[in-house]
Structure 1
């Protein structure tokens, strides 16, 4: 039997979710697949040691024949044929309602980077999705008193993103050990909702994050096979889109699609995690230090090649090539700044459409129409999977470093973003507007990873000042003082201590969130 901690509030948070039958289903998944998941995480660590030792990621020689063969993934179901614009938001009740009521084609309900995984957030998120699948989701905003209710005729398709393989769920124990958060998120949602969604030809559909090797995709495939058999659903009725958001995975896109070819309908450019993964994977490669985040853009160097390679790979295999997230959001009260932000989003979406992507992401309902217009200019049909450029990028192109430097404002911005986001995350909020940008765990990871790498190699600012421990300590304190002057954040001190520890560590931590997870309920 699984041991469930902190049961006290579950009856009020999620009365329909933690049933004996649902927990037994999660337990079966954990029993069958935990050892395999653990072995894959060990393989990640071994690969990281090789990269730290000087090896570069590249195409796998033993799967070359598979990459050269002609094969395609299964056709996407009707509900996932037109994915022009998808909206993403954490699995929080009000956001679930707003997203599904929107004009977006699909909504990615997130248990990963934009949701701080407090036990309450996980439990209430599952309940909100349970209610939404049954058309009964509503809520009253505690501050404004406004009532939100799901439209009975909404057309937006629900897609759920569980946590990545590396994240545990400390409130669900198996033999005294935390069960993988992915097992909990997937298992609870699938058990309660898969049959109803399948009956209505609306799923179940999933987004799969943080994959680093095709064998990790194969694990997801086998879990979905198992789940379908347990609940007597048609084989391969569960469909997935996988995010290519790690540097090793970009060299294995054909293998990933092949491993899930009966159910994987697309790949997505998870750009922010991808930038973070570039830094982390090449952390010990001093000649590959990225410039300021603002200069690491999708139209240049390794990111441009990444987008083009993903499109070509997906279209060759009959899969959707989904674009990623622009971090810019509408700015209230400043028309000039808002117009500039919207233009940046418009340019980003036009670039994706011109590259051949079949759809894109937005994080705010106010950006849906803009993104639709940008894509409709290049993509009059439901998708453009027939668009093939013939481009095949070399490993060196997929690793190409963008040009640019770092100034003190860039350095300070990274500190501010990492501080403000971590403080918010510790307080239970996983998607945070900071300086008119929507930040999530991935962008906070970029910020702290760059700080670590810049300091590790004594990178020089544009004015000639060397980045060292003294400079970081000075600017960190200045950032804390500035944030306090604006109004103290509850978890700012804990966030500052954590950032200080991460940046001054001799080794780059794999994930900010794994250490921070110990500090949340």
Structure 2
């Protein structure tokens, strides 16, 4: 039955291999969760508004309360009095997980599916195929992503033909870089990497599907259902687990909602409870106050946490937007050993190493390495040394592995764990979590660090470039500030959606909270102690934007300079000028997908801002197809 869902633009026919009868039946069975997700997202915005109005910080839960949607008391969750998951064999060693999309924008299958071949031949222990931060959403990319994964997991001849060619290309690169091949038997290599899928977060809507009320379907329902239903049999027949990454969870109640959806899908497919395994990306400040509760809410599904960097910084900035004393420094200073980041990471490793009722622990997967070994010999050497040092630090701190954002990094970073030889660090002893006021204060700990004009230029240049890449269908893009274009000693970094979010978030703080510069700057004539004003932002905006207009096609596509680049600039300006910090930069980008008309973009941006100001409602649906 599909009478409670509608798929737009004739896609049911052109993607019949993705929207199979089995998929449609499952979507229909889960469609009722759409209303509950929308209610949960309304509650998010209400909590956010309440914190702003009452100038209130996020606090730990009442230990005597119950986790919403469960019969688990908060204190029991903290004490490990719940039934968690046994880590399946193919997840017990995940030294390196790669991350990236399974599709390219506006590309035929034979080209688009190369992304999957690179991933599965890379030698990574797992590859998290992204439907969220790194996957472009122009046209039908979300469906191309699903199609390519289905073809690859089922070992379709199209994929195998591409994989053989890609293996040879990878070996040519590795011979020049390592002096040896990295793929010896490409067919055997395809069996090595665990396939993992990241669904879009609860806050995002699918662009192609409506529920029975004509409301855009939550992307989480769509992504989870399409991936699992299309691939569960092939994965199980190949001895692989069905594994998802769940992003942007803010509360244990939201985790319980995910758990209910996972259980409903398992029931629908006749799978045992807990068959689908999930990692949770700890990307939200509120989540760090509820780590054990989230673990307990996901129960048999939960296998581990991942500690990213960009999204988490953004969430802290957003949660503290009302506090004029909370001002982040230059983004380069906010490493995983900085202030609140260090405390966040420590809470995660304590949470996973707390046993459940059966003595089971969970995994901690470290953060993402964004470097790419492409540039001058000096630049690559310095960056790879830094990347390895970062991996060594995480391994020492207790991580069972980490992420890389490019297949070329796998064999550079993986030896850090390979040398140690342990499959994981499950159950390594750390102090149990505590829930004092001091613990809460430390989760927003700001430490002295530079706040500079150079830092502001970096923030602004990359934020606009990212918005431009998003509009071009590349939500994962290799970027660096415009002042370093042509300088091969400064490497490009793989950046995804969180890059734009946090860069504009910090600039918003600097302008609206009156950040004081820590250094003199000759070019602008500013001195240490000067306030970062809106006028200074406007000056830097004009200067940095002009550099992008003058950049070569390699760094800024010429075709984008009169289409998506001006829209990216307009979005950045609107975001920074808004007196109330907007909840999601991605919303402004999403409502302008497939639009290259600046005047239309301005109308949509104004509509979003006015709607949010008036009633606190985000516009998240596809404005091109949803009924107005």
The TM-score range, normalised by the shorter chain, is: over 0.9
Q: Secondary structure at the match of 2:140?
A: helix
Bigger Cα displacement from structure 2, 482-491 vs 404-413: 482-491
| Among candidates 505, 529, 546, match of residue 481 of structure 1 | 546
Q: Secondary structure at the match of 1:288?
A: coil
Using the alignment, how far apart are the partners of 2:232 and 2:35 within structure 1? Answer: 25
Using the alignment, how far apart are the partners of 1:78 and 1:483 within structure 2? Answer: 48
Using the alignment, how far apart are the partners of 1:221 and 1:320 within structure 2? Answer: 18
| Among candidates 419, 440, 448, match of residue 464 of structure 2 | 419
State the Cα deviation string for residues 14-58 of structure 1 (Å, max 9, x = none). Answer: 451123442232132122x11221121122112212332322123
Name the residue aligned to 1:30. Answer: 31
Q: Secondary structure at the match of 2:440?
A: coil
Name the residue aligned to 2:416. Answer: 374
Name the residue aligned to 2:578. Answer: 505
Contact 1:135 1:152 in 2 (8 A): no
Give the unaligned 5+ runs of structure 1: none
The answer as to 2:94 corresponding to 1:57 is no
State the Cα deviation string for residues 211-261 of structure 1 (Å, max 9, x = none). Answer: 000111111111111111111122211111111110000111100110112
Q: Secondary structure at the match of 1:336?
A: helix
Give the alignment of 1:63-74 within 5 angstroms: 63-71=74-82, 73-74=84-85
Using the alignment, how far apart are the partners of 2:539 and 2:287 within structure 1? Answer: 38
State the Cα deviation string for residues 155-199 of structure 1 (Å, max 9, x = none). Answer: 101000010101011321112111011111111111211122223
Q: Measured at CA, do residues 65 and 3 of structure 1 come closer, stay the same or move farther in structure 2, by a change above 3 Å?
A: closer
Contact 1:139 1:147 in 2 (8 A): no
Name the residue aligned to 2:226. Answer: 188
The answer as to 2:499 corresponding to 1:443 is yes
Contact 1:292 1:406 in 2 (8 A): yes
Name the residue aligned to 1:199. Answer: 237
Give the alignment of 1:53-452 within 5 angstroms: 53-62=54-63, 63-71=74-82, 73-92=84-103, 93-136=113-156, 137=159, 151-153=186-188, 154=190, 155-174=192-211, 175-317=213-355, 318-332=361-375, 334-377=376-419, 379-390=420-431, 392=433, 394-435=439-480, 436-452=492-508
Using the alignment, how far apart are the partners of 2:16 and 2:40 within structure 1? Answer: 34
Using the alignment, how far apart are the partners of 2:153 and 2:81 within structure 1? Answer: 38
Using the alignment, how far apart are the partners of 1:72 and 1:319 within structure 2? Answer: 12
Using the alignment, how far apart are the partners of 1:139 and 1:248 within structure 2? Answer: 46
Quote how far apart the aligned CAs of 1:509 are.
1.4
Q: Measured at CA, do residues 391 and 331 of structure 1 come closer, stay the same or move farther in structure 2, by a change above 3 Å?
A: farther
Q: Secondary structure at the match of 1:443?
A: helix
Quote how far apart the aligned CAs of 1:66 are.
2.9
| Among candidates 455, 480, 485, match of residue 511 of structure 2 | 455
Using the alignment, how far apart are the partners of 1:311 and 1:376 within structure 2? Answer: 21
Higher-Rg structure is: 2
Q: Measured at CA, do residues 138 and 484 of structure 1 come closer, stay the same or move farther in structure 2, by a change above 3 Å?
A: farther
Q: Measured at CA, do residues 420 and 457 of structure 1 come closer, stay the same or move farther in structure 2, by a change above 3 Å?
A: same
Q: Secondary structure at the match of 1:307?
A: helix
Quote how far apart the aligned CAs of 1:302 are.
1.1
Bigger Cα displacement from structure 2, 198-207 vs 432-441: 198-207
Using the alignment, how far apart are the partners of 1:134 and 1:380 within structure 2? Answer: 32
Name the residue aligned to 2:521. Answer: none
Bigger Cα displacement from structure 2, 179-188 vs 17-26: 17-26
The answer as to 2:17 corresponding to 1:16 is yes
Bigger Cα displacement from structure 2, 118-127 vs 411-420: 118-127
Using the alignment, how far apart are the partners of 1:480 and 1:203 within structure 2? Answer: 47
State the Cα deviation string for residues 246-286 of structure 1 (Å, max 9, x = none). Answer: 00001111001101121101111122110110111111111
Q: Measured at CA, do residues 71 and 188 of structure 1 come closer, stay the same or move farther in structure 2, by a change above 3 Å?
A: closer
Using the alignment, how far apart are the partners of 1:135 and 1:21 within structure 2? Answer: 20
Normalised by the length of structure 1, the TM-score is 0.94
State the Cα deviation string for residues 423-450 of structure 1 (Å, max 9, x = none). Answer: 0101100111112111111111110111
Contact 1:328 1:344 in 2 (8 A): no
Using the alignment, how far apart are the partners of 1:239 and 1:372 within structure 2? Answer: 23
Using the alignment, how far apart are the partners of 2:13 and 2:308 within structure 1? Answer: 36
Name the residue aligned to 2:618. Answer: none
Normalised by the length of structure 2, the TM-score is 0.78
Name the residue aligned to 1:5. Answer: 8
Q: Secondary structure at the match of 2:365?
A: strand
Q: Secondary structure at the match of 1:390?
A: coil
Quote how far apart the aligned CAs of 1:65 are.
4.2
The answer as to 2:550 corresponding to 1:471 is no
Contact 2:325 2:513 in 1 (8 A): no
Using the alignment, how far apart are the partners of 1:182 and 1:410 within structure 2? Answer: 35
CA RMSD, aligned part only? 2.1
